[in-house]
């Protein structure tokens, strides 16, 4: 964690102050000039910048080995800002079906604005180069993917995009910087729903985009223009969550691996996807690009029907039926009914999200408690 600035008395606050001020008084016109010209760090208006938010930006930039980071109001605000900043009418964008479902809504807006979009199955990532065109401006992916935890080779994708000077943007929400650093693997930008593992306590909503200083400047222009600056209180909650982030991430990954190993050979479970399992299709790639474990997310099919999945979830006691992920509590949901509800039914089924697929986000509870709960619920099918 970065240390705060010295006070006039020579000591430092242990917690970054929450600065709720919308605007700031200038000591002189010269100070105003220095701030607006970027000669000194200073603040004029909350939509431009906020000192509490700026503190968190520097922490996440350090975590992602980035030159800088910009914090916004939600993960989807982060994704949308990337699209608005770097795509124009006539550009070609490559997306993958197996990314967070709300991106489908954004894609409809982008198409209305003249952006051409190609959707691919995340399992077909090696074929990306064949789908690139002279006007391809960006490839946007998640790995592990949401919700099926498929793995894409970030370095290979980066090599492909660099051949045509396209951008590679990686949503790192599932992996978190504790397990994966896409910028080190060649990505141009990394985005997060900081609502999830970075915040970790189900009490804030925020998004983050990390990259070079030039990318920060371009994204700052967009944020300032459309007004997606995070509020200071949420930034303070995010900074608090980051203080325990590595501890939580390590525990979640450990719990997830133990749960996945327990479920791997259960007759009621099929299509189990967790990159930490040697049997997982993406395990070898994940071993190359992930570290400190393989994250807290997994997906699997329960029984034969959605009613089986519903019965299973309804029989759980210590695991919560809720959307979102990366929190201290273990959460489970049916993506077909929740995170993928934005997509037409045929699109949900087309790339592996079945009506009885469940997504599990491991929390920090005792693994024996979670496994006992899962055992009991599986008997209800």
Give domain limits for the chain. Answer: 29-243, 245-378
pTM of the model: 0.95
Q: Sign (positive/negative) of CA torsion 7, 13, 16, 17?
A: negative
pLDDT digits (tens, 9 = 90+) for 260-269: 999 999 999 9
Could you please report the per-residue DSSP string of 138-161?
A: EEEEESS-TTT-----HHHHHHHH
Q: How confident is the model at residue 196 (pLDDT cuts 50, 70, 90)?
A: very high
Q: What percent of the chain has pLDDT over 70?
A: 97
The CATH class given to the 245-378 domain equals: alpha beta
Q: Report the percent of the chain where pLDDT is more than 90.
A: 90
Q: Hunting for tokens 């709720």 — which residue is that?
A: 20
Give the pLDDT confidence of 55-89 residue by residue, as tens digits.
999 999 999 999 999 999 999 999 999 999 999 99
The CATH number of the domain covering residues in 29-243:
3.40.640.10
Cis? peptide before 369, omega within 30° of 0: no
pLDDT of residue 24 exceeding 80, the answer is yes
Cβ-based neighbours of 27, under 8 Å, separated by 6 or more: none
Cis peptide before 117 (omega within 30 of 0): no
CA distance 86 to 179: 27
């Amino acid at each position: 964690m970065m240390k705060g600035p010295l006070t006039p008395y020579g000591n430092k606050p242990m917690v970054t102050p929450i600065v709720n001020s919308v605007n700031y008084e200038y000591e002189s016109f010269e100070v105003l000039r220095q701030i607006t010209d970027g000669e000194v760090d200073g603040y004029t208006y909350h939509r431009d910048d906020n000192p509490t938010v700026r503190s968190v930006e520097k922490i996440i930039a350090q975590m992602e080995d980035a030159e800088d980071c910009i914090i916004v109001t939600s993960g989807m605000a982060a994704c949308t800002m990337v699209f608005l900043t770097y795509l124009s009418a006539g550009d070609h964008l490559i997306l993958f079906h197996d990314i967070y479902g709300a991106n489908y809504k954004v894609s409809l807006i982008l198409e209305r604005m003249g952006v051409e979009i190609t959707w691919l199955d995340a399992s077909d990532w090696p074929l990306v180069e064949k789908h690139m065109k002279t006007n391809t401006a960006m490839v946007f992916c998640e790995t592990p993917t949401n919700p099926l935890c498929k793995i894409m080779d970030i370095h290979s994708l980066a090599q492909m995009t660099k051949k045509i000077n396209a951008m590679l943007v990686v949503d790192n929400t599932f992996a978190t910087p504790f397990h994966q650093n896409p910028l080190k693997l060649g990505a141009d930008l990394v985005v997060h729903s900081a609502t999830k593992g970075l915040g970790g306590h189900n009490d804030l909503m925020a998004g983050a985009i990390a990259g070079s200083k030039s990318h920060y400047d371009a994204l700052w222009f967009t944020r300032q223009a459309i007004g997606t600056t995070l509020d200071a209180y949420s930034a303070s909650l995010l900074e608090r969550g980051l203080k325990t982030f590595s501890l939580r991430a390590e525990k979640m990954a450990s719990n997830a691996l133990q749960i996945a190993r327990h479920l791997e050979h259960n007759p009621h479970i099929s299509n189990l996807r967790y990159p930490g399992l040697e049997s997982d299709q993406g395990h070898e790639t994940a071993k190359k690009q992930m570290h400190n474990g393989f994250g807290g997310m997994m997906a699997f099919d329960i029984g034969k029907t959605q009613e089986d999945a519903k019965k299973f979830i309804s029989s759980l006691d210590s695991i919560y039926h809720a959307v979102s992920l990366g929190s201290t509590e273990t959460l489970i949901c049916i993506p077909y009914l929740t995170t993928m509800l934005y997509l037409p039914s045929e699109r949900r089924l087309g790339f592996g999200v079945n009506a009885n697929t469940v997504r599990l986000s491991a929390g920090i509870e005792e693994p024996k408690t979670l496994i006992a709960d899962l055992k009991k619920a599986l008997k209800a099918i």
